[in-house]
Structure 1
Amino acid sequence: MSRDRNFDDLAELFAGRIYSGSKGRIRLALLERDLLEVMPDLLQPARGLQVLDAGGGVGQFSQRLALAGHQVCLCDHSERMLAAAKQASAKAGTSTNMRFVHAAIQDLDTSSMSYDLVLCHAVLEWTQEPQVVIEQLLRLLRPGGVLSLMFFNLHSTVFRSLIRGYLDKALQGDFKGSGQGLTPVNPLEPQWVLELLQRRDVSVFIKSGIRVFHDYMHKDVRDRRNESDIMELEMRYSRLEPYRSMGRYYHIVAGKSVET
């Protein structure tokens, strides 16, 4: 049984914070852009991939894949999040293409099923042992398959603490959340994840920062600006250093070689 955080107590708040407003729209747009560059036919109907949405929450992204005809398995550690995902799937008309599993990623059976595409978005930062989770995801990925990893970026966490005056955190070098709210318990350094993938002979195709400046803008300023302009600039700077490394989240699209 996993000791990792689930969101039974915060399911509605969590889903609302993530997917409502410009934050969610930017996040989903960049995830889609990155994946379509690697898999151009991903949203074309009837391609029929096997997709795992690991820690998928309410399934905002994977529902689009189910609508395109892919077979999606969504697993989540939270019963309430899973119930919300089932409800959203029924409303979207994707139930026939989606299967729901109440389980932590670490507990999924790797002997009977593997996937062409594995999504793991905003999950690693809530786990106690992210390396164990990444290695499990790789076991679930078929040779030649694609892995989409998005995680809370430690560099952004440090910078926001500094500019907001949370200097005690910086002096102590402790940027972990308490686990009681929506601050992740284990923000990750992108280079650590990239080096882990390299050691596992996984090819990295795309590296992007997600919300490289949006979350640093003062709300009053942000609300006065055109969201389409913000979106365009987020797209423009998402892969340009040093902005990429300052994204609130970091997105990696990687592939497992056929010989693996």
Structure 2
Amino acid sequence: MSIHHKPDQSFDSIADKFQRNIYGTTKGRLRHELLMHYLTPFIERSSMRILEAGGGSGEMAEELLKLGHRVHVIDISSDMIELAKKRCARYPGFSCEVNEIQQHDSPEKYDFILCHAVMEWLTDPLSIIPSLISLLGQHGHLSLSFFNKDAHLFGNVLYGNFDYIAKGFNVPNRVRLNPNNAVKPQDVIDCLGELQLNVVHKAGLRCFHDYVRDKTIQQSHYQQLKEMELEYGTQAPFMWLGKYFHLIAQNPAA
């Protein structure tokens, strides 16, 4: 990566706040549980070599370590890596580093690469995909989840945020925990196709949860909402309205 580019978002100094805001809410909990549900059929084989790119505080890594996989977490934020160490250091298969994903080098290829809720924080979201694929072994799987630009527009129309939309979703006093660059799912699907990967799974995450009029329902009827997400999250048109979108693509044999 060029050293002259606008820096990608790091969560140094706000790692604890990030942890509370993401995983201390029904939004974060539901996103995590849905991802685990969709990943499970692909990670049942034990002792895979897994890279979590932008692994943050190690929430997902711990789930994978418990299943007996070897997990290497990389994150640009040293504060996040410290949280991941506290959570995961007791597992023998855990390793980590503070680095940009594009700078990561590995002597052996990975069986599975996860890059969740990272692309939307990058200056050029799609540019990370070739870097990830270069680290993926034959038949290996790449799991991407990202903030859905189409759903972002849809939600802001519902809330009447027309000035925000007219300004291209740019505001002078941006909240640091709001993603910088939402991504269109079709753009990612097209990019994966151009790079010869086969998309084997796609789903919307939080297709209903974020749109309920009465926000107390998110807690009082969490299980019912989750059931709706699982039933319809892989079906059109609902999947395209997920606030986050999830794709799993497979690297074909060389």
TM-score (norm 1): 0.90
Alignment-derived partner of residue 53 in structure 2: 54
CA–CA distance in 2 between the matches of 1:195 and 1:186? 18
Q: Equivalent residues in 2 for 1:121-200 (5 A)? A: 121-172=116-167, 174-176=168-170, 180-200=175-195
- Point out the more displaced range, 174-183 or 60-69: 174-183
Alignment-derived partner of residue 104 in structure 1: 100
Alignment-derived partner of residue 12 in structure 2: 8
Q: Alignment partner for residue 245 of structure 2, among 228, 233, 250?
A: 250
Q: Where does the alignment leave 5 or more consecutive residues of structure 2 unmatched?
A: none
Instruction: State the shift of 1:206 in Å.
Output: 0.6
Q: Where does the alignment leave 5 or more consecutive residues of structure 1 unmatched?
A: none
1:103-123: CA deviation from partner (whole Å, max 9, x where unpaired) = 01011115x232000000000
TM-score (norm 2): 0.92
- Label 1:224 to 1:169 Cα distance change in 2 as closer, same or farther (>3 A): closer
- Label 1:179 to 1:258 Cα distance change in 2 as closer, same or farther (>3 A): farther
- Matched residues, number: 249
* Identical counterparts, % of pairs: 33
Structure 1 runs of 4+ aligned residues shifted over 6 Å read: none
Alignment-derived partner of residue 32 in structure 1: 36
Is the contact made by 2:120 and 2:182 (CA closer than 8 Å) also made in structure 1?
yes
Alignment-derived partner of residue 231 in structure 2: 236
- Label 1:223 to 1:243 Cα distance change in 2 as closer, same or farther (>3 A): closer
CA-atom RMSD in angstroms: 1.8
Alignment-derived partner of residue 77 in structure 1: 76
1:145-166: CA deviation from partner (whole Å, max 9, x where unpaired) = 0110000000111112212221
- Label 1:26 to 1:205 Cα distance change in 2 as closer, same or farther (>3 A): same
Query: Is 1:22 the equivalent of 2:26?
Result: yes
Instruction: State the shift of 1:135 in Å.
Output: 0.7
Instruction: State the shift of 1:175 in Å.
Output: 2.4
